[in-house]
Amino acid sequence: KAGVTQTPRYLIKTRGQQVTLSCSPISGHRSVSWYQQTPGQGLQFLFEYFSETQRNKGNFPGRFSGRQFSNSRSEMNVSTLELGDSALYLCASSPGEVETQYFGPGTRLLVL
């Protein structure tokens, strides 16, 4: 099976802009989670979607949002970008609730 894919792999934006990141899970996986990785804060949970419903959300401002489509593909959006949003954004998919999460290669976002 193909692994988790994320697009784009690299992105450069300026402050105030918005950005949309995409994640395609492993075929058959219905759960998609998003994480932010930064040198200062490490890996932090953003949110998780299952069957198009957001089931859990981390401690991030409302500028961070996401959605999941009927084919389990997911997008996350960050509006009004700040310098501190520069990070590696990782998507992970899982077949269900208690299964292992498998991660994609990430999207590296740089905000100037």
Minimum distance from residue 104 beta carbon to another protein (Å): 5
Burial of 73 (0-12, 13-18, 19+ CB in 10 A): middle
Residues 3-32 that bind another protein (CB under 8 A): 4, 6, 31
Taken in order 92, 95, 98, 100, the sign of the CA dihedral is: negative
Q: Count CB neighbours of 47 within 10 A.
A: 21
The site string for another protein over 79-98 (x = CB under 8 A, - otherwise) reads: -----------x-x-x--xx
Judged by beta carbon, residue 67 or residue 79, the one nearer another protein is: 67
Indicate the residue among 16 and 37 with the shorter CB distance to another protein.
37
Neighbour tally for 5: CB within 10 Å = 16
Per rule CB under 8 A, is residue 35 in the interface with another protein? yes
